Amino acid sequence: MIERTDIDVIIVGQGIAGSSLAWALIDRGMRPLVIDDRRETSASSVAAGLITPVTGAKLKPQADFSFLAGAAGAHYRAVEAATKVDCYFARPAWRLLSTERELSIWNNADPGLLAELKLTDDVPAGIAPGLVNTLMPNAARLDTQRYLEAVHTALCDKGLMLGGHVEPEDVTRVDAGIALPDLSVRARHIVFCRGYADARNNYFAGPSWRPAKGQVLTIRCPDLDIANTVHAPGLWLTPLGGTLYLAGASYEWDTLDDRPTAEAREALCEKLDRLLTVDYTVVDHRAAVRPIVQGRKPVCGPSPKDSRIWLFNGLSSKGALYAPTVATQVAGALCKDIPVDDEYRFDLRASGEWQDD
User: Is the same domain home to 319 and 224?
Assistant: no
DSSP 3-state percent helix, strand, coil across the chain (nearest 5): 30, 30, 40
User: Is the same domain home to 58 and 181?
Assistant: yes
User: Is the same domain home to 228 and 87?
Assistant: no
User: Is the same domain home to 148 and 259?
Assistant: no
Structural domain total, the chain? 2
Domain boundary among 275, 290, 305: 290
Q: How far apart are CA 17 and CA 187, in angstroms?
A: 19
Q: Which domain holds residue 108?
A: 93-137+212-290
User: Is the same domain home to 144 and 271?
Assistant: no
User: Is the same domain home to 228 and 350?
Assistant: no
How many of the other CB atoms lie within 10 Å of CB of 135? Answer: 18
Q: Is 175 left (phi over 0), alpha (psi -120 to 50) or beta?
A: alpha
The pTM for the full model equals: 0.94
CA separation, residue 99 to residues 59, 94, 131 (Å): 11, 16, 9
In this prediction, residue 42 has a pLDDT band, given cuts at 50, 70 and 90, of confident
Domain boundary among 234, 259, 290: 290
Q: What does the mean pLDDT of the chain come to?
A: 92
Cβ atoms of 170 and 42 within 8 Å: the answer is no
In this prediction, residue 354 has a pLDDT band, given cuts at 50, 70 and 90, of very low
Q: What is the pLDDT of residues 241-296, one digit of tens each?
A: 999 999 998 899 889 999 999 999 999 999 999 999 999 999 999 999 999 887 78
Is residue 353 predicted with pLDDT exceeding 50?
Answer: no
User: Is the same domain home to 86 and 40?
Assistant: yes
Is residue 215 predicted with pLDDT exceeding 50?
Answer: yes
In this prediction, residue 308 has a pLDDT band, given cuts at 50, 70 and 90, of very high
Q: How far apart are CA 73 and CA 312, in angstroms?
A: 20
User: Is the same domain home to 15 and 81?
Assistant: yes
Range with the largest mean pLDDT of 33-47, 74-88, 330-344:
74-88
User: Is the same domain home to 114 and 186?
Assistant: no
CA separation, residue 332 to residues 9, 23, 141, 349 (Å): 12, 12, 26, 20
> How large is the average pLDDT for residues 202-211?
82
User: Residue 43 maps to which CATH number?
Assistant: 3.50.50.60
Q: How far apart are CA 327 and CA 302, in angstroms?
A: 14
User: Is the same domain home to 162 and 69?
Assistant: yes
User: Is the same domain home to 337 and 264?
Assistant: no
Domain boundary among 236, 265, 290: 290
Q: What is the pLDDT of residues 170-186, one digit of tens each?
A: 999 998 899 999 999 99
- The more confident residue out of 341 and 42 is 341
User: Is the same domain home to 150 and 80?
Assistant: yes
